[in-house]
Amino acid sequence: MHNPEQQPALTGVITAQVTPFNQDGTIDFGGFERLLKRQIDAGVHGFALCGSTGEASSLSLEERLELVSRAKALVPAPCHIIVGAGHNNTAEAVALQKAMERSGATATLQVTPWYNKPTQEGLYRHYRAIADSSELPIIIYNVPSRTCSDIQPETVARLLKSCPNICGLKESNLETARVQKLLTFREEHPRFSIVSGEDHLLFSLMALGGQGIIATSSNFAPKLMLDLYNALHANDLVSARPLAWRLSRLAECMFWRTNPIPSKTALSFLGLIEANFRLPLCAMSEEEATQLKARLTAEGWL
């Protein structure tokens, strides 16, 4: 059973792990384990599996469970294994939450429902239903650019009062005033963490008092992300500034096209996986891939 008072604080660099595929569309589990080992060797603090970077909308429940099982066999404690379990049908999100609790995941990442455009009351009831269904820790994921749904700080505050297993927020709307307001909630709920959902804004969030990041760019460059996090954690802004600038340039490449197309393509340049996708996502054109390689080469990554 999960004790909300003992759940680990969500801190550090959590890699939003890509899901590699074979040419026939099946999951490349060998490539998946190879990527995990590379991240573990770099020293990341955990993994977020089956999120948007992991092409979750194209994965079956059985595939998600297999990915979690293989990650658990490789990932050492106390690394987080966070699993995307969001859905815009609350009943489906509840079912996924329960399945991930049985899988042994550390926590779930529950994105705000997309397409439905719920009210703040609807968002509150959605997350309350999920939280009431299991004791597994929940991280709210707010990414309005993908969902057209923006959970407000006041709604987060309501949820923290009624749902002790909500342990964090992955926030992609990093307006300074909003972040400052969210961070005040930690006075009453010290186990609640705010992490960045935007790679290039790690510096800003941690400077305000945030706890880390769930990052896409760390798939390609985990050491850079960790170096920046460690510098910020040590309040060494002199060292952090040039690292933040370098990360910003890398993030431009990683989000040049729809995530995770550039990051998987970049990993293929390193020979770690093949740049295969499941529809409706598809590979870059040869011209686009050549441009991406040229940009990464110019920045000293290849």
Kindly report, residue by residue over 174-214, the tens digit of the pLDDT: 889 999 999 999 999 999 999 999 999 999 999 999 999 99
Q: Is residue 276 part of a domain?
A: no
Q: Is residue 2 part of a domain?
A: no
What average pLDDT does the segment 223-247 reach?
97
Catalytically annotated residue among 127, 141, 229, 264: 141
Confidence of residue 130 (pLDDT cuts 50, 70, 90): very high
- Give the pTM: 0.93
What average pLDDT does the segment 144-167 reach?
94
In terms of C-beta density within 10 A (0-12 exposed, 13-18 middle, 19 or more buried), how is residue 292 classed? buried
Q: State the residue range of the domain holding 53.
A: 12-235
What average pLDDT does the segment 140-153 reach?
93
Q: Is residue 294 part of a domain?
A: no
Note the pLDDT of residue 4: 42
**What whole-number distance in Å separates Cα of residue 284 and Cα of residue 272?**
17
Say which CATH number the domain at 38 has: 3.20.20.70
Q: Is residue 278 part of a domain?
A: no
3-state secondary structure 158-189: HHHHHCCCEEEEEECCCCHHHHHHHHHHHHCC
Alpha carbon 288 to chain centroid distance?
25
**What whole-number distance in Å separates Cα of residue 43 and Cα of residue 41?**
5
Note the pLDDT of residue 1: 35
Q: How many domains is the chain partitioned into structurally?
A: 1
Catalytically annotated residue among 124, 127, 170, 229: 170
7, pLDDT greater than 70: no
127 in active site: no
Q: Is residue 267 part of a domain?
A: no
- Per-residue pLDDT tens over the stretch 62-114: 999 999 999 999 999 889 999 999 999 999 999 999 999 999 999 999 999 99
Three-state DSSP at 115 gives coil
Note the pLDDT of residue 2: 41
What average pLDDT does the segment 168-175 reach?
91
Q: Is residue 230 part of a domain?
A: yes
Note the pLDDT of residue 175: 87
Confidence of residue 268 (pLDDT cuts 50, 70, 90): very high
Q: Is residue 16 part of a domain?
A: yes
Amino acid identity of 104? G
124 in active site: no
Q: Is residue 277 part of a domain?
A: no
CB-side exposure of 99: number of CA atoms within 13 Å? Answer: 19
Q: What ranges in the chain are assigned the alpha helix state H? A: 29-42, 61-74, 90-103, 120-133, 144-147, 153-162, 176-184, 202-208, 222-233, 237-254, 261-269, 286-298
Note the pLDDT of residue 9: 65
**What whole-number distance in Å separates Cα of residue 188 and Cα of residue 254?**
37
Cβ distance 55 to 19 under 8 Å? yes
| 225 or 8, which is more confident | 225
- Per-residue pLDDT tens over the stretch 35-69: 999 999 999 999 999 999 999 999 999 999 999 99
Cβ distance 81 to 105 under 8 Å? yes
What average pLDDT does the segment 203-227 reach?
96
